Structure 1
Amino acid sequence: MSGSKGCCIRLVFLTGLLSWQVTMAQPSTDNQKRYKTAVQLVRSGDYEKAKTELNLLIQRDGPLSPYAHYYYALAAFRQKNFPQAQAMLKQLQTRFSDWNKVDDAQYLLAAVSMEMGRLEDGVAALQSISDAKIRAEGIKLEQAFIGRITDLKRLKALNKEFPDDRAVGLALIDLLQQTATDKEDLELSDRLTNRFGVPNIASTRSTAPVSATPSASATSVPVRANRAKGYYNVALLFPFRLDEFDAEKRARTNQYVYDLYNGIKMAKTKLQEEGITVNLFAYDIENDANKTLELVNSPAFAQTDLMIGPLYVEPNRIASAYASQNSILLLNPIATNSDLVANQPMAFLAQPSLNQQAQQAAKQAASLIRSEVKVANDLSSRRVAIYFGTSRKDSLLALAYQTEMQRQNYQVVDFRKLSGTAQAMADAMLQQPGSTTRPVNSSQVAGATLGHIFFASSSDTDGQRLLDALSRKKINGPVMATSTAFDMYSDATATFTKRNLYLLYPDFIDVTREPVVTFQEQYVAKRNTIPSVFASQGYDMMLFFGRQLAKNGSSLRNRSMLRSDTDDYLLSGFDYTQTNDNQIVPIVKFTDGRLVKIE
């Protein structure tokens, strides 16, 4: 999204021009129809046709003419034809100087002027606005453009022309702090600071998703300084895809992004209640390395304390390098690849990696599952069959589990991919590779007892088939499976009770706990929908890292404190005392009619 489009969006929804009622002499029916058609064309993006219709209204000089001027300028602005937009707005000012919506026109003129690089004209236009609400939006517009200036001489000149303008003053303080070395500049910074204070992002930045590039969203942000501050700045680098956004559409392919974002915003409110101020800055970052590089290298990004995202590999690599070089925390909210945090001391995974899941599952297998196996000797209890589904994640988790089992001297008697019907799975079990008839060991087929069976699958129909296949094969022993192998809403209770079944369940939420009930009630009241697991994850990760920033600072050097020490998280909490991926991996069992986490 371009800077101009971002301003234009705020403009349209700010002014509510689409619902204006003309209160002067009633225009003709033909003019009314033409006006409504033109406005709709502007809304739909057909700007040339809109301008044709609007031009006729402008020439007729009736009560709709000033509105037609405005929408003509808006259409030109959307087309990035800034000189044409400026000319129309100037004509509007000349012909209708007493128009009751002149402040809206001044706002648009300011945006046009700033897009043309005429910042002085833009600031002057904003200062002529008397409406308080539009003036407040004008301040945001001004900050967005002034924050781009890297030429100290120009910013000084702008400050000299508008000495009482706070946005200009704060931007100059920011740039002086970054670049000033001589005594005169340092003294100027002190004078401006005494007058305008230290730039406070909480009062100057919006928390709504604004742009894929820093130019459309960057404001006057102070450079990272070695001083205590009462707030922490969090950059959300998500694929919001604002150009495709439809507020009425719930089933978006990237709905999980908005759910994460909404959960993070609710955590921000919770943190504020605890006296921890977090400023959220949302950037629309797709799989574009160049835009990511442009963003992290912008002066406005220097004060960031925590980055969440990006979600794609190449942008994440750039963000990781920037985090390491500038001692800024980086959190990947959904990845399970431990390579993303390897040799990256400032990078963390909110989720346990596949390796971490395998290690924790192996610990539970040793301490819990083996104790339930009724066998004559310990040898049987140390035999394991490992199966996996068709996705790459399934095979990677199974491989990590195999590695961990072998490290602990377990005998892996079978390791293979299973798919298809329950009978097809049963036929494949305990067969020599490439064979459908010859068993690995005849003593392991009929009525075989294994220490346990491990099954990793991302298909929610595979779990039932696996259990059925084991029964057909008469293979006994507890089963450790990923929760994603089952449909938690549709599978019958008997599915979870007919044998010792343990579920590896990183996303487990106990809906009976009071914090979960409270969060869901608040979320439904605010969003009018039940929170997804992503909303809960967003809430938890922001709550945890916000508290850590307040306790530990942005460096998080005290590794022993990097664990959740309260029970008000919605999932199972966090533990980074040993690694930079979450060490907490819930394992649950169906007990007394519900899933219960094994402590």
Structure 2
Amino acid sequence: MTLFYRALLLPKRLLLLLPLTLLSLAAAAQGQLVQYRTAKNQLDQGHYDVAMKQLQPLAQPVNHFAQAADAGYLYAVAATRQGQWAEAEQMLNLIRHEYPTYAALNEVLYLQGQVSFEQGDYDNALRTLGQLPAEQYAALRESLQANYLGKLKDRATWQRLRQRYPNSKLVGRLYADFLRGSGPLADADRQQLDALITQFKLDRSQYAPAPAAPKALPRKSTYNIGVLLPFELQDNTWQTQRKNQFVTDLYAGLRLAQDSLQRAGHPVQLFAYDTGADTLTLKSVLALPELAGMDMLIGPVYKSGARLLARYAQEHQIACINPLSQDGDLVLDNVYHYLYMPSAATQGRLAAQFAASAFGTGRPAVLLREDAKDDNDFAQAYQVAYQEAGGKILESRTLRPDDAASLAAAFAGLDLASVSHVVVASDHRKAGPATFAALQAVPAATRPALLAPGAWLDNPSLDPGQLGGPTVYYYHPKYFDNQRPGYRRFRQLYLAKQNLPPSVFASQGFELLLFFGNALQQFGPAFQSGLATLPPLPGAVFEGLAYPGTAHDNQVVPMVKLSNLELQLVR
């Protein structure tokens, strides 16, 4: 029997009240919708307590709110922002039980995994995250798991997880990392570590016992520094000379710093070695007996050679500085190896901390990266650090800038108006134009901020109007103020020597030797422990250098923006 005919059978008195009841229900539904929208605004503004009080009744099934599941999810988000993990978990359980067909159930599972981790319930976290579809959530899930499991220090919990997830490579690798960082290993732990390395095909060299701290060495009146660079002096063709101009510039900067140290009463002697473009030549240089007597080594510039020299430095206990690489893996577990540059991972971590402060964490971010080692390292570190700050990554996508279809797909379907900022980890010349084109399609009032590499500032395909947008920022490890007295003095000296203005490679060579040459004078050849205690120091050319604690790459990464055609340091 239809509702209409049932109504006709009602007593006339009740039949007269029926329109009033329907009006009341409509008014109540409208009131709920207004309350929901108000609560969302309170959440966006960071008024989490107020938002929770308004959302909690809307999420209850008894109140029949059409968007009850959405209200419950937002309640849980607000609770996590305040560290109220038990309240968040209770609401997430309600959603899963009462609204099993909720369209955003995967987001609920992901958040519940984080909540379980925060409460130390690692089993439930892994079990919940395991229900997420792999094709969509594999990278996000692994990043979240790595973030929390990487902090786990309880041996009993690790052993329980290892038993319950014996085939999980992530659990196995992170457990191996835990064992490696636990100090001297007992025989049983060493056997476990060996089994993990074998089962998951881990790099055994990464799990070798940590070397002893460098021993103090006597101070000297002057220090000998070996410079190992691919000068390729045997090939005098103009093509090779042009290709190697950056090497020549780097060495010219080193020589100028040597002069400056000499004038300051801190003399160093440079001994240049041509490593060629292949590892065979480098190996022949490393076989020279005189090299083992150096107080410090600088070079090389190619990754295969960098690994060889790092191993040599460790075996001979000589500090080695890589002048150009941003690969943080090169300096893992090697107290004798340093990067002059910030690693890509350090850049990602510090960029995320800046973004959380500058853009807030109330709305999510979009993270795009080129599929290359440094860019992937940056993106992974960015995501972990931004989530640790309370933020959320709406989408994390890989792009291939040389492929027009890949570039288009990277921005396809993104709700850019709903995010706080977009991060692009690629200095490819085609990445910038594609990004600005996508952002231009968003109305200015809702257009997200952009955080991009400083290399974009030198891209001729981008005009100053784009680069200097009001919400466009750059992470720029090579930033320097060309009006700073230190730089102007350096430029004057370089022009007098070379009759050319200094390139960025010449500037890097100068800064590198000036900093580490002074470290030699202050602390001697075993300067590692002394360097770890120094505060960030301003550079003569660049913004600064810092190697605190166990850091072996520079921890200073300037954040800048372009305003009135001038770069401004914002952090």
| Smaller-chain TM-score bracket | 0.5 to 0.7
Does residue 495 (structure 1) correspond to residue 466 (structure 2)? The answer is yes
Which AA in structure 2 matches 1:271? L
1:348-367 pair list within 5 angstroms? 348-367=338-357
* Alpha carbons of structure 1 residues 518 and 306: separation in structure 2 relative to 1, 3 Å: same
Does residue 455 (structure 1) correspond to residue 430 (structure 2)? The answer is no
* Alpha carbons of structure 1 residues 487 and 225: separation in structure 2 relative to 1, 3 Å: closer
What's the offset of the Cα at 1:575?
0.4
Task: State how far apart, in whole Å, the 2-side matches of 1:238 and 1:506 are.
Answer: 22
1:103-142 pair list within 5 angstroms? none
**How many residue pairs are counted as aligned between the two chains?**
353
- Aligned 8 A contact 1:287 1:315 in 2: no
Aligned to 1:386: 367
Q: Percentage identity across aligned positions? A: 30
What's the offset of the Cα at 1:340?
0.6
Does residue 571 (structure 1) correspond to residue 571 (structure 2)? The answer is no
What's the offset of the Cα at 1:572?
1.6
1:365-384 pair list within 5 angstroms? 365-370=355-360, 379-380=362-363, 383-384=364-365
1:286-325 pair list within 5 angstroms? 286-325=276-315
What's the offset of the Cα at 1:591?
3.0
What's the offset of the Cα at 1:561?
4.1
Match of 1:414 among 392, 395, 405: 395
Aligned to 1:552: 523
What's the offset of the Cα at 1:422?
13
Does residue 236 (structure 1) correspond to residue 222 (structure 2)? The answer is no
What's the offset of the Cα at 1:489?
6.3
1:3-82 pair list within 5 angstroms? none
Aligned to 1:163: none
The C-alpha deviation readout for 1:310-359, integer Å capped at 9, x for no partner, is 22334323322222233211000011111110000010000000110001
What's the offset of the Cα at 1:586?
1.0
1:179-578 pair list within 5 angstroms? 227-245=218-236, 252-370=242-360, 379-380=362-363, 383-389=364-370, 391-418=372-399, 428=409, 431=412, 439=413, 444=415, 448-474=417-443, 476-487=447-458, 491-556=462-527, 557-562=529-534, 565=537, 567=538, 569-578=540-549
- Aligned 8 A contact 2:275 2:285 in 1: no
Task: State how far apart, in whole Å, the 1-side matches of 2:451 and 2:234 are.
Answer: 44
* Alpha carbons of structure 1 residues 400 and 388: separation in structure 2 relative to 1, 3 Å: same
- Aligned 8 A contact 1:457 1:485 in 2: no
Task: State how far apart, in whole Å, the 2-side matches of 1:550 and 1:313 are.
Answer: 29
Which AA in structure 1 matches 2:305? P
What's the offset of the Cα at 1:494?
1.2
What's the offset of the Cα at 1:287?
4.7
What's the offset of the Cα at 1:462?
2.5
Task: State how far apart, in whole Å, the 2-side matches of 1:286 and 1:549 are.
Answer: 28
Task: State how far apart, in whole Å, the 2-side matches of 1:415 and 1:225 are.
Answer: 46
Task: State how far apart, in whole Å, the 1-side matches of 2:385 and 2:261 are.
Answer: 39
Aligned to 2:163: none
* Alpha carbons of structure 1 residues 536 and 226: separation in structure 2 relative to 1, 3 Å: closer
- Aligned 8 A contact 1:236 1:309 in 2: yes
Task: State how far apart, in whole Å, the 1-side matches of 2:334 and 2:435 are.
Answer: 39
- Aligned 8 A contact 2:349 2:378 in 1: no
Q: Give the TM-score normalised by the residue count of structure 2.
A: 0.57
Aligned to 2:554: 582
- Aligned 8 A contact 1:460 1:487 in 2: no
Q: 294-303 or 589-598, which moves further after superposition?
A: 294-303
Aligned to 1:9: none
Which AA in structure 1 matches 2:362? L
- Aligned 8 A contact 1:413 1:430 in 2: no
Q: 416-425 or 450-459, which moves further after superposition?
A: 416-425
Task: State how far apart, in whole Å, the 1-side matches of 2:266 and 2:402 are.
Answer: 53
Task: State how far apart, in whole Å, the 2-side matches of 1:487 and 1:230 are.
Answer: 43
Q: Give the TM-score normalised by the residue count of structure 1.
A: 0.54
What's the offset of the Cα at 1:301?
1.8
* Alpha carbons of structure 1 residues 449 and 328: separation in structure 2 relative to 1, 3 Å: same
Task: State how far apart, in whole Å, the 2-side matches of 1:313 and 1:421 are.
Answer: 24
What's the offset of the Cα at 1:523?
1.4
RMSD of aligned alpha carbons: 2.9
The C-alpha deviation readout for 1:76-113, integer Å capped at 9, x for no partner, is xxxxxxxxxxxxxxxxxxxxxxxxxxxxxxxxxxxxxx
What's the offset of the Cα at 1:390?
5.8
